[in-house]
Amino acid sequence: MKKFVFMFVILFVPIFVHAAAPSLNVLPENLIQGEPVIVRIEGLSDITQVIAVMFGKQALQPFLLGGTVAALYGVDLNMKAGEYVVAVNLIDGTKLEKKVIVLGRKKYEAPLGIPQKLGGNSTTSQTVLVNTLAIENAQLAALATGKKAFWTLFFQYPVKDPFVTDEYGYTRTTGQYSITHKGVDLRASSTTRVSSINRGVVRLVKTFRNYGKTIVVDHGLGVMSFYMHLSKVLVNQGELVLPGQLIGYAGQTGYAEKPHLHLTVRINGVSIDPIIFIKLLGR
């Protein structure tokens, strides 16, 4: 009889334990200009309970990430450093808040060399470079993104054994101009396989003067990845690609002096540090 009572307690106690109230988790904890942010509402799996998720004055779109309500935000490289509030309002009146500090990024400058194939280091080729880059950037900025996530749970690196040769966020100066590197360069040869960092729809396949052979993959919900200076493209515009699917080979087309893979990741139009992004949303 005693034994029976004991088992009864063990089996039925969990039913009387209330589910923990939702709590707010914002990562990374130490945020720097140009970094992505993931907001998770721990303990909440029903997206219809969410009225609003805000980063400062910016409304974020909530989605389900591995069964937990989450939202993504890209802190622009030029966003004012300082304190911001991440706030969540739920339908039952619950308000969750967390203060985050955006720290200023150290600004590095490096001189920019223009390859001979793009006119070398003359004042004219500097002006042509800056003007044509502006046109290419406008075309890339105009690409549409899906209203829901196409991605599956984990993002991954686009190359095997990733090694950053040129970091995100430094400025290259050429003559009177300065150009900010809003992506990372990964070590690669012209035979390095380039794969999609997650599931997505190929929004653009194009050869640009400066960015060279380029693939843009839309992962939905404002997340897009850009693969540039490729030697070969293996996918077509409109095609659905899977996580890790081979999409092309690295190269040095366009403004590149040696083979490498330039990777840009954007969240709602804001280019953030792709390495931090993959670390945050990777395995």
CB of 63 or CB of 227, closer to Zn ion: 227
How many residues lie near Zn ion (CB under 5 A)? 2
**Cβ 196 to Zn ion, closest distance in Å?**
18
CB of 183 or CB of 200, closer to Zn ion: 183
**Cβ 223 to Zn ion, closest distance in Å?**
19
Asked whether position 185 contacts Zn ion by CB under 5 A, the answer is: yes
Site string for Zn ion, 261-280 (x = CB under 5 A): -x------------------
Residues 6+ apart with CB under 8 A from 43: 19, 20, 21, 22, 23, 68
Q: Which helix (H) or strand (E) holds 65?
A: strand 63-65
CB of 98 or CB of 206, closer to Zn ion: 206
Report the alpha-carbon distance of residue 249 to residue 110 in Å, rounded. Answer: 27
Site string for Zn ion, 204-243 (x = CB under 5 A): ----------------------------------------
Asked whether position 199 contacts Zn ion by CB under 5 A, the answer is: no
CB of 136 or CB of 185, closer to Zn ion: 185
Asked whether position 182 contacts Zn ion by CB under 5 A, the answer is: no
Closest among 211, 216, 215 to 229, alpha carbons compared = 211
CB of 164 or CB of 280, closer to Zn ion: 164
DSSP 245: -
Do strands 164-166 and 184-187 pair parallel, antiparallel, or not at all (unpaired)?
Answer: antiparallel
Report the alpha-carbon distance of residue 134 to residue 124 in Å, rounded. Answer: 16
CA distances from 160 to 201, 225, 246 (A): 22, 17, 11
Closest among 37, 49, 63, 47 to 146, alpha carbons compared = 63
Binding site for Zn ion (CB under 5 A): 185, 262
